Amino acid sequence: MMQTTAQINNVTYRYKGAAENSLDGVSLTIQKGETILLCGASGSGKTSVIRLLNGLIPHYYHGDMTGDVKVNGHDIANTQLYELAGVVGTVFQNPRSQFFSVDTDGEIVFGPENIGLSPDEIMARKDNISRQMKLDKLLGRSLFELSGGEKQRIACASVAALLPEIILLDEPSSNLDMQAISMLHDIIREWKRQGKTIIISEHRLWYLKDIADRVIFMDKGRKAHEWHAKDFAMLSEEETRQLGLRPTNINEHYLALLSDKDNAENGHTDISDGILLKDFYFSYHHKPYILRRKKFSADDGDDLSLCIPELTIPKGKVTAVIGSNGTGKSTFLRCICGLEKECTGVIVSDGKEYRKRQRIGFSYMVMQDVNHQLFTDSVEKEVLLSMKEKDVKRCHEILDTLSLLGYKDTHPMALSGGQKQRVAIASAIAAGAELLLFDEPTSGLDYAHMEKVGKLLRQLADSGSTVLVSTHDPEFIEQCCDHILQIKNGRVHPCLSAAR
Amino acid sequence: MSLKLDPRTKLYMIFVVSAVVMMSATTPFLWAVRIAMTMIPILLLIIEKHYAAAFRFLIFYGTALLLTFRFLSENSKGFLSAFLVGYCSIIVQFMPAMITAWYVVRTTKIGEFVCAMQKMHIPDGITISLAVVMRFFPTIKEEYTSIRDAMKMRGIMLGGGNAAGIIEYRMIPLLFSCVNIGDELSAAAVTRGLGGKVKRTSVQVLKMSAADYLLMLLFTAALAVFVVSKYII
| Integer angstrom CA distances of residue B67 from A325, B25, B83, B86 | 51, 17, 12, 11
Contact B190 A373 (CB under 8 A): no
Suggest the residue from B175, B177, B179, B203 to mutate for an interface test with chain A (most A CBs closer than 10 A): B203
pLDDT band at A294 (very low <50, low <70, confident <90, very high): low
Contact A106 B109 (CB under 8 A): yes
Contact A385 B176 (CB under 8 A): no
Q: Which residue of B has its CA nearest to A159?
A: B192
Domain membership of residue B1 (yes or no) is no
> Is there a single domain that holds both residue B92 and residue B21?
yes
- Which of B140, B103, B134 is CA-nearest to residue B117? B134
pLDDT band at A217 (very low <50, low <70, confident <90, very high): very high
If you ran DSSP here, which 8-state letter would residue B14 be given? H
> Which amino acid is it at B206?
L
pLDDT band at A483 (very low <50, low <70, confident <90, very high): confident
- Which of B171, B169, B172 is CA-nearest to residue B156? B169
pLDDT in tens, A337-378: 888 888 888 888 888 888 877 888 888 999 888 888 888 889
> Which amino acid is it at A213?
D
d(CA B12, nearest CA chain A) in Å: 23
Dist. CA A367–CA B149, nearest whole Å:
10
> What pLDDT, on a 0 to 100 scale, did the predictor assign at position A396?
92
Average pLDDT of A225-248?
89
**What does pTM read for this prediction?**
0.85
Contact yes or no for A484/A477 (Cβ under 8 A): yes
User: CB of A316 within 8 Å of any CB in chain B?
Assistant: no
User: CB of A99 within 8 Å of any CB in chain B?
Assistant: yes
> Is there a single domain that holds both residue B104 and residue B154?
no
Our count of domains for chain B comes to 2
Runs of H (alpha helix) within chain B: 7-21, 28-47, 51-66, 78-107, 110-119, 124-154, 165-191, 210-227
Chain B residues with CB under 8 Å of A110 CB are 189, 192, 194
Q: Is the pLDDT of residue A203 over 80?
A: yes
Angle at A435 between CA A432 and CA A441, to 5 degrees: 110
Chain B residues with CB under 8 Å of A59 CB are 190
Q: Is the pLDDT of residue A265 over 60?
A: no
d(CA A118, nearest CA chain B) in Å: 7
Q: Is the pLDDT of residue B141 over 60?
A: yes
Domain membership of residue B196 (yes or no) is no
pLDDT in tens, A440-458: 888 888 888 888 899 989 9
Q: Compare CB distances from A339 to B138, B142, B149 and report the shortest one's residue.
A: B149
- Which of A165, A183, A181 is CA-nearest to residue A173? A181
Contact A82 B198 (CB under 8 A): yes
Q: Is the pLDDT of residue B199 over 90?
A: no
d(CA A235, nearest CA chain B) in Å: 35
What is the separation of C-alpha B25 from the centre of its chain, rounded to a whole number of angstroms? 21
Q: Is the pLDDT of residue A198 over 90?
A: yes
> Is there a single domain that holds both residue B92 and residue B180?
no
> Is there a single domain that holds both residue B12 and residue B91?
yes
> Is there a single domain that holds both residue B141 and residue B57?
no
Dist. CA A103–CA A84, nearest whole Å:
25
Domain with CATH 3.40.50.300 in chain A: 4-251, 255-497
> Is there a single domain that holds both residue B177 and residue B217?
no
Contact yes or no for A418/A367 (Cβ under 8 A): no
What is the separation of C-alpha B72 from the centre of its chain, rounded to a whole number of angstroms? 28
User: CB of A339 within 8 Å of any CB in chain B?
Assistant: yes
Chain B residues with CB under 8 Å of A96 CB are 139, 181
* Cα Rg, chain B, nearest whole Å: 22
Q: Compare CB distances from A375 to B135, B172, B199 and report the shortest one's residue.
A: B172
Contact B155 A360 (CB under 8 A): yes
> Is there a single domain that holds both residue B102 and residue B142?
no
CB pairs under 8 A between A and B: 166
Q: Which residues contact A323 (CB under 8 A, 6 or more apart)?
A: A260, A329, A486, A487, A488
Chain A, residues 41-70, CB within 8 A of chain B, namely: 54-56, 59-60
Dist. CA B1–CA A243, nearest whole Å:
63
Q: Is the pLDDT of residue A264 over 60?
A: no
Suggest the residue from A71, A91, A99, A114 to mutate for an interface test with chain B (most B CBs closer than 10 A): A114
> Is there a single domain that holds both residue B98 and residue B11?
yes
Chain A residues with CB under 8 Å of B131 CB are 100
Sign of CA dihedral B49, B53, B57, B58: positive
Q: Compare CB distances from B181 to A97, A102, A115 and report the shortest one's residue.
A: A97
> Is there a single domain that holds both residue B52 and residue B103?
yes
Average pLDDT of A12-29?
91
Dist. CA B45–CA B61, nearest whole Å:
15
d(CA B18, nearest CA chain A) in Å: 27
- Which of A327, A368, A266 is CA-nearest to residue A489? A327
pLDDT in tens, B65-116: 888 887 766 666 777 777 888 888 888 888 999 999 999 888 888 888 888 9
Q: Compare CB distances from A158 to B150, B192, B203 and report the shortest one's residue.
A: B192
Domain membership of residue B116 (yes or no) is no
User: What CATH number belongs to A4-251?
Assistant: 3.40.50.300
Domain membership of residue B138 (yes or no) is yes
> Is there a single domain that holds both residue B94 and residue B20?
yes
- Which of A493, A468, A497 is CA-nearest to residue A308? A493
Say which CATH topology domain A255-497 has: Rossmann fold (3.40.50)
- Which of A54, A46, A36, A58 is CA-nearest to residue B192? A54
> What pLDDT, on a 0 to 100 scale, did the predictor assign at position A34?
94
> Which residues constitute the domain of residue B64?
7-109+206-232
Contact yes or no for A177/A149 (Cβ under 8 A): yes
Q: Compare CB distances from B150 to A89, A96, A367 and report the shortest one's residue.
A: A367
This complex has an ipTM of: 0.83
> Is there a single domain that holds both residue B130 and residue B83?
no
Angle at B135 between CA B133 and CA B139, to 5 degrees: 100
Dist. CA A255–CA A252, nearest whole Å:
5
- Which of A36, A484, A481, A490 is CA-nearest to residue A263? A484
Dist. CA A355–CA A219, nearest whole Å:
50
d(CA B125, nearest CA chain A) in Å: 13
Chain A residues with CB under 8 Å of B139 CB are 96
Contact B173 A374 (CB under 8 A): yes
What is the separation of C-alpha A148 from the centre of its chain, rounded to a whole number of angstroms? 10
> What pLDDT, on a 0 to 100 scale, did the predictor assign at position B231?
82
> Is there a single domain that holds both residue B95 and residue B146?
no
Contact A81 B195 (CB under 8 A): yes
Domain membership of residue B115 (yes or no) is no
Contact A102 B109 (CB under 8 A): yes
User: CB of A364 within 8 Å of any CB in chain B?
Assistant: yes
